[in-house]
Amino acid sequence: MIISKSKGGEKQSFHVKHTTPKKLQTVCGLRPVIEAIDAGLQIDKILIQTNLEGPLSQELKSRIREAGIPFQYVPVEKLNRTTDGNHQGVVATISPIVYHDFTSFMQQLSETDCVPFIVLLDHITDVRNVGAIVRTAECAGVNAVVVPSHGSAQINEDAVKSSSGALLRLPICREQNLKTVIIVAKQYGLQICAATEKGATDYLNVDFRLPTLLIMGSEDTGISPDLLRLSDIRAKLPVLGEIQSLNVSVAAAVFMYEMLRQRR
């Protein structure tokens, strides 16, 4: 796939791989899931039966942690509802999209004349919000969206549908440590803008013509304190009504289209 971004009216292009739409699939059983990890399949999440023991289960858990794959301990009844197959206490869901490594992506992006604009989603748990944000990001010319490996909405068929297919077109980076993402972004010269109602800077006063990583916080708790401390700018949207905050997908759209306005 060729991603093209505008800069000064000219198109800047570079190649990234992306997936094609496919039906959500599952892999069941201890050995098959281990083999799926070893084969490099894009696994979205692994469900493990509570109190599952044995050498093979320990090997699986070790591989899961090494690969940074999200997992959850669940009762056997949930696994039985998930699949009719012999799950042996383990069911893995194959992701409908291909994830990118953020550092590699930034290296690739740095070799172009593109002025980066990255959106980082800090533990946003509503699948519709994630889909809506990615849809807007694709429309606004954002280069990539970063999500955490744990504690975020599952990127499944519903998310792809909510994004109107944008999740299949826009590079998505899934990372274990969001602080590391910010540190890497700074190394590549990006300013870090945290969108927060507690910010001191009006969003219209942020220079989005500069390379930027925009952080959008979770629906209930906002941006994590560790990420706020690493931000260069804390920007807010004006709110005149009694409700003190916008839906995160709406707020993200305002920020992204202000970036687009400035860069046009």
Say if CB 208 and CB 259 are below 8 A apart: yes
| Residue 43: predicted pLDDT | 87
Q: Is residue 16 a part of any domain in this protein? A: no
Domain of residue 138 covers 98-263
Can you tell me the distance from the alpha carbon of 224 to that of 231, in angstroms, rounded to the nearest whole number? 11
Say if CB 67 and CB 174 are below 8 A apart: no
pLDDT (average), residues 191-205: 95
Helices (H) and strands (E) in the chain, counts: 9, 14
SS (H, E, C) 47-73: EEECCCCCHHHHHHHHHHHHHCCCEEE
pLDDT (average), residues 9-16: 40
Asked whether residue 174 falls in the same domain as residue 59, the answer is no
Asked whether residue 171 falls in the same domain as residue 250, the answer is yes
Query: DSSP string of 223-252?
Result: S-HHHHHH-SEEEE----SSS----HHHHH
Residue 240: CB partners within 8 Å, gap ≥ 6?
none
Can you tell me the distance from the alpha carbon of 92 to that of 44, in angstroms, rounded to the nearest whole number? 8
pLDDT in tens, 138-160: 999 999 999 998 888 888 788 88
Q: Is residue 202 a part of any domain in this protein? A: yes
Asked whether residue 150 falls in the same domain as residue 219, the answer is yes
Asked whether residue 54 falls in the same domain as residue 115, the answer is no
Question: Where a domain ends, among 41, 64, 94?
Answer: 94
Q: Is residue 237 a part of any domain in this protein? A: yes
Residue 166's pLDDT band, with cuts at 50, 70 and 90, is: very high
Q: Is residue 2 a part of any domain in this protein? A: no
Q: Is residue 18 a part of any domain in this protein? A: no
- Weakest mean pLDDT among 18-32, 140-154, 204-218: 18-32
Asked whether residue 39 falls in the same domain as residue 169, the answer is no
| Residue 32: predicted pLDDT | 92
Residue 213 maps to which CATH number?
A: 3.40.1280.10
Asked whether residue 102 falls in the same domain as residue 90, the answer is no
Q: Residue 21 pLDDT > 60, yes or no? A: no
Asked whether residue 30 falls in the same domain as residue 121, the answer is no
State the pairing for strand pair 201-202/233-236: parallel
Question: Where a domain ends, among 94, 112, 128?
Answer: 94
Residue 19's pLDDT band, with cuts at 50, 70 and 90, is: very low
- Residue 68 tokens read as 């940074």
pLDDT (average), residues 98-107: 94
**Residue in the structure block whose two tokens are 């970063």:** 146
Asked whether residue 123 falls in the same domain as residue 245, the answer is yes
Residue 70 maps to which CATH number?
A: 3.30.1330.30
- Residue 160 tokens read as 């792809």
pLDDT (average), residues 1-20: 41
pLDDT (average), residues 72-93: 90
Other residues' Cβ atoms within 10 Å of the Cβ of residue 207: 11
**Residue in the structure block whose two tokens are 């909510």:** 162
What percentage of the chain reaches a pLDDT higher than 70? 91
| Residue 236: predicted pLDDT | 95
Q: What are phi and psi of 227, to 5 degrees?
A: -75, -35
Say if CB 44 and CB 19 are below 8 A apart: no
Q: How far apart are the first and last CA of the chain?
A: 24
Q: Is residue 87 a part of any domain in this protein? A: yes
Domain count across the chain: 2
Q: Is 164 left (phi over 0), alpha (psi -120 to 50) or beta?
A: left
Mean pLDDT of the chain: 88
Asked whether residue 160 falls in the same domain as residue 82, the answer is no
Say if CB 96 and CB 24 are below 8 A apart: yes
Residue 3's pLDDT band, with cuts at 50, 70 and 90, is: very low
Say if CB 163 and CB 132 are below 8 A apart: yes
Can you tell me the distance from the alpha carbon of 68 to that of 70, in angstroms, rounded to the nearest whole number? 7
| Residue 45: predicted pLDDT | 87
Question: Where a domain ends, among 46, 78, 94?
Answer: 94
Q: Residue 20 pLDDT > 60, yes or no? A: no
